[in-house]
Amino acid sequence: MNPLNGYDYEDLQLGMSESFVKTITETDIELFATASGDNNAVHLDEEFAKTTPFGGRVAHGMLTASVISAAIASRLPGPGSIYLGQNLRFKAPVRPGETVQVTVTVTDLHPEKQRVALSTVCTVQDRVVIEGDALILPTSAKRRKQ
Amino acid sequence: MNPLNGYDYEDLQLGMSESFVKTITETDIELFATASGDNNAVHLDEEFAKTTPFGGRVAHGMLTASVISAAIASRLPGPGSIYLGQNLRFKAPVRPGETVQVTVTVTDLHPEKQRVALSTVCTVQDRVVIEGDALILPTSAKRRKQ
């Protein structure tokens, strides 16, 4: 582990997995709209959203995806990780008040550059809402000693 | 155009391009931390962040990526778009107070499913901070008439 209590590259093994859970509230959606600049009415206006194919307000897909960032930064590999890439496939909407579980699992280790690939799956109850994978540069005990 | 002033699939052509600009403030970073659950100190604590390879606070990569969502939802294809996928390659950090320009460009049209692929590039001045591409289901005049 590194001094921030995150995993070093040397600690990681194929199949290691961690989860992070967050409830997406109406307030979270409003904060995200301000932070991102995405004020689309399908996220913010229930009366309008009822007229769309979603039938009501939904969270921004990128807000749900942002919980992946929290899972990586706080759980696996944890603090000190540098985010290099993320692929996202949006499968189903998330509604205000729903609880997203993000599960990140080590799927590949690249020793030459000390990078790790993770599968990143977001579910609400048993429904997959986002599938994807991440590429991360964790901290490294070896680099710290150089 | 659809009734929300977004582009229908039938309006889109290869090479169409739009930009969206947002300054990422310290407040945006704090709002995003609350909304996403990612409270990593490198984003929130300047004293700590000075001790990291970044040398100071940086925006969450997914916050900068979220401005892509705003560009798609508000500009191209615009309101009514459904986000199907996004790939992200994080190339450089964004610091509080920096202004991100997102440029989205139509790179492929898939008539069978009426989907559009966009390249999505985020820059700060002349520095590319995120590269990637998006897959979108725009509204459709044809489907609206069915």
- Burial of residue B71, with CB atoms counted within 10 A of its CB: 0-12 exposed, 13-18 middle, 19 or more buried: buried
User: Would you tell me which residues 124-143 of chain B have a C-beta closer than 8 angstroms to some C-beta of chain A?
Assistant: none
pLDDT range class, residue B130, cuts 50, 70, 90: very high
pLDDT of residue B90: 98
Range of the domain at B106: 9-24+58-145
pLDDT of residue B41: 87
Q: Give chain B's mean pLDDT.
A: 95
> CA dihedral defined by A38, A24, A18, B48, rounded to 10 degrees?
60
pLDDT digits (tens, 9 = 90+) for A36-74: 999 988 899 999 899 888 999 999 999 999 999 999 999
pLDDT range class, residue A14, cuts 50, 70, 90: very high
Residue A54 domain flag: no
Residue B109 domain flag: yes
Averaged over A4-30, what is the pLDDT? 97
Averaged over B104-129, what is the pLDDT? 97
pLDDT of residue B31: 96
pLDDT of residue B68: 98
Domain harbouring A19, CATH code: 3.10.129.10
The SS3 of residue B132 is: strand
Percent over 90 (pLDDT), chain A: 90
User: Between A53, A68, A87, which is nearest B87 by CB?
Assistant: A87
| Count of A-B CB contacts under 8 Å | 130
Averaged over A1-26, what is the pLDDT? 96
Q: What is the ipTM of this complex?
A: 0.94
Paired tokens of B1: 């155009």
Averaged over A14-33, what is the pLDDT? 97
**pLDDT of residue A146 exceeding 80:** no
- Domains in chain B: how many in total? 1
**pLDDT of residue B105 exceeding 90:** yes
Termini Cα distance of chain B: 17
User: Between A28, A40, A66, which is nearest B38 by CB?
Assistant: A66
Chain B contact for A44 (CB, 8 A cutoff): no
Residue A38 domain flag: no
- Burial of residue A118, with CB atoms counted within 10 A of its CB: 0-12 exposed, 13-18 middle, 19 or more buried: buried
pLDDT of residue A108: 98
Q: How far is A93 from chain B (nearest CA, A)?
A: 10
**pLDDT of residue B146 exceeding 80:** no
Residue A92 domain flag: yes
Q: How far is A92 from chain B (nearest CA, A)?
A: 9
pLDDT range class, residue B23, cuts 50, 70, 90: very high
User: Between A60, A74, A85, which is nearest B89 by CB?
Assistant: A85
**pLDDT of residue B145 exceeding 90:** no
Chain A contact for B44 (CB, 8 A cutoff): no
A111 CB-near residues (< 8 Å, 6+ apart):
none
- The answer to whether the Cβ–Cβ distance between B66 and A36 falls below 8 Å is yes
A112 CB-near residues (< 8 Å, 6+ apart):
none
**pLDDT of residue A143 exceeding 90:** no
Residue B49 domain flag: no
Question: Do you know the residue count of chain A?
Answer: 146
Residue A127 domain flag: yes
Look at B131 and A80; give whichever has higher pLDDT: B131
Residue B111 domain flag: yes
Residue B104 domain flag: yes
pLDDT digits (tens, 9 = 90+) for A87-120: 999 999 999 999 999 999 999 999 999 999 999 9
